[in-house]
Amino acid sequence: MPKRFRPHTIGGGAVLAVLCSLTLTPSASAAPAPCPVDEGCVVVVNSDNPQGRLSSAAFVDRTTDEVRQVSGAKLGANPSAIAVTPDGNKAYVANFGTIAVGKDTPPQTVTVLDTRTGERVKDIPVGKQPTDVTMSPDGSTVYVVNSGTVFDPGGVSVISTATGEVTRTVTGLSNPSALALSPDGRLAYVTNQENATVSVIDTGTYGVADVVPLPEEGLYPTDVTVSPDGSKVFVAGNLNGRVVVLDGRDPHARPQVVAVPGFGLPQALGLTPDGRSLYVTEAASNEVAVIDTHTMKAAQNTIKVGRNPTSVAVSSDGKLAYVTSSLDDTKGLSVIDTATNSVRRTVSTGSGPFAVALVDARPGN
């Protein structure tokens, strides 16, 4: 779940047939699909650092690690996060907009892309400076974290995928940065950067059911993820180089704290499907730490990636982890083999690769 933060982050061609004199000429080959249904793909949104105006989406082949297509669809300024529907056919991209702190900071948008064509479907207005977007397990709802400004505490926009419209906005937050859902989708855990807390939202009522203070190690939380059984809630504490682990059954119980090796500034979290390994990007030192969630200890050896790693996504089979590095266009996407915890390849996807999402093969779709 990738994020764009304020001060502390380092921051098809158609087939043509021509009928002439009753003779049918051979048709031209159709352009390859950016994300074939029988293969899936990796989708990377490029934020075009530092300008943020020529953003794009790149579709990467999951077998060859080659870029299949860079979409010509226009995204908003500085796209910061991406989530795909369970069927893999649509991607929702949060557009952070230009970095601003004034009272006149305008609301931004979420761009909906059709992954089968790479084309833009629509733009959905949301709140100010969105930093995260999360899909519900059943694909019916998209949650967009609007981080707000010093004059706006932010909130969460709730989008219906059926209508493509915001149905409500959750308030009562404090400059939120990230959101993760419980496995059943009934609870949403939202990190608040302003006061170092986690708000727990009941997605049935969209009310804030609880607010959990983080210890000092959790200052300036940048990301959150939940274990597959819902028993653990992992929070990246950006300022102190720690990951705070809350008890999903009793969030107010004394949390566990895991130090990560390296210079620090944890930014993004990616959990393997079995919940055993947690991949933590470290923005300041251009590396990825790996935490064993059974022992709650980090491996001493880290994985070197490109400059300013901003997001990480783990494949559904747990074999690969994909990391974007927004300040390193030549090593914009690092593909990590989780068996050896080594980079098998780096891919240049465009200018300022900031967020990544995976689309699995979907035969018969």
pTM of the entire predicted model = 0.91
Q: Which pLDDT score, from 0 to 100, does residue 364 have?
A: 67
CB 303 within 8 A of CB 341: yes
Confidence of residue 264 (pLDDT cuts 50, 70, 90): confident
Q: Which pLDDT score, from 0 to 100, does residue 32 have?
A: 76
| pLDDT digits 0-9 by tens, 31-53 | 678 998 889 999 999 998 666 56
Q: Are strands 277-282 and 297-298 parallel, antiparallel or unpaired?
A: unpaired
Question: Is residue 309 scored above 50 in pLDDT?
Answer: yes
CA 22 to chain centre: 53
Distance CA 285, CA 265 (A): 8
Q: How far is residue 45 from each of residues 41, 143, 236, 344, measured CA to CA in Å? A: 13, 18, 22, 21
Distance CA 273, CA 283 (A): 24
| pLDDT digits 0-9 by tens, 129-139 | 999 999 999 99
Average pLDDT, whole number, for the chain? 90
Name the least confident of 83-97, 104-118, 127-141, 314-328: 104-118
Confidence of residue 205 (pLDDT cuts 50, 70, 90): very high
| pLDDT digits 0-9 by tens, 115-164 | 999 999 999 999 999 999 999 999 999 999 999 998 999 999 999 999 99
| Span 160-173, average pLDDT | 98
Q: Which two tokens stand for residue 311?
A: 């997001």
